Amino acid sequence: MLFKKPTATHTLFPPLIVNCVNEFAVCASQKDVDFWLTPKNIAQSTSFVIYDPDGSLFLQHGRTFRRSGYQVKVFNPSDFELSAKYNPFEYVEIDEDISKLVTAVLSGTKGRGKKGDISFLRLESVLLTAIIGYIHEEAPSYEHNFAVTLEMLNAMTLDEDYDYFDDYKHAVDCLFEDAKTNGSDGLYVKRYEHFKRTAGINENKVVKSCISRLYPFGSDEAKEYFSTDELGLNRLYNPQTALFVTPGKSGAFSFTAPLMYVQLFDVLCEKSIEY
């Protein structure tokens, strides 16, 4: 995949849309890869995002990009030491962005609900959307990350003998009540109220299921890696950048690679419209 700065003409393939300044290449063989990653193409005013499943393309072409003046980055969520840090919350601006983030979490992690239980999955979605929405709207920017999301979920857990008809309110209940009292009418408040109304005796089960999904983000290494963003997806075009993506086939954080691509395409669309 390539970013291109706006130019009068495109030297590779003509754009199908007038204001499209991006190009996408699917390489089915090493020959295709070699065609795109030539010194001639690298010398253009272009940034590259390269799917590199085993890391070999970085070893083969990384130095060439550096010698050509590129900023070279690697995204490898399965090996933090080799990867630039990535914080998906950095690219959350509207409610739709939160929905995409939650969808990635639910599709890429394992919860405690029964397989095929759509109602339980929807409750997880509503809760995570509410929590992440609250963080985005109410929390300081340094708390915009998965670790804080996990902390809020942990604060919602209740004893097994809890009486769901009690008037007890935990810290997260109070946070959302304060937000509403202070005049917030955001979707996250409505989602949280909906969750409290519909979850009933399943509330604790849903909370613990969400905790299971995000539990790996609680380690010190994961907190550091996913709380800071070094990828700069909205700045890949300036300076020229070569981003090598090695997602890993399995692992607790492998779902962040497709999430990164979703956020990258959103950024591409926004920049194309601006141009």
The DSSP secondary structure of 18-51, one letter per residue, reads: TT--EE-----SHHHHHHHSSHHHHTSSEEEEEE
- Name the burial class of residue 20, with classes exposed (0-12), middle (13-18) and buried (19+) by CB atoms within 10 angstroms of its CB: middle
SS3 14: coil
Cβ atoms of 126 and 202 within 8 Å: the answer is: no
CB atoms within 10 A of CB 252: 19
Give the number of other Cβ atoms within 10 Å of residue 166's Cβ: 8
Determine the 3-state secondary structure of 266 from DSSP: helix
Over its length of 275 residues, how does the chain's per-residue pLDDT go in tens digits? 554 444 433 334 444 444 445 566 666 566 667 777 777 777 766 788 989 988 899 998 899 889 888 999 999 999 999 999 999 999 999 999 999 999 999 999 999 998 889 999 999 999 999 999 999 999 999 999 999 999 999 999 976 655 555 667 889 999 999 999 988 888 999 999 999 999 988 999 999 999 999 999 999 999 999 999 999 998 887 788 999 999 877 788 989 999 999 999 898 888 777 65
Residues 6+ apart with CB under 8 A from 266: 91, 97, 100
Taking 3-state DSSP, the helix, strand and coil percentages for the chain, each rounded to the nearest 5, stand at 55, 10, 40
Contact 195, 123 (CB under 8 A): yes
Q: Tokens 């339980």 identify what position?
A: 120
Predicted confidence at residue 271, as pLDDT, reads: 74
Specify whether the CB–CB gap between 105 and 255 falls below 8 A. Answer: yes
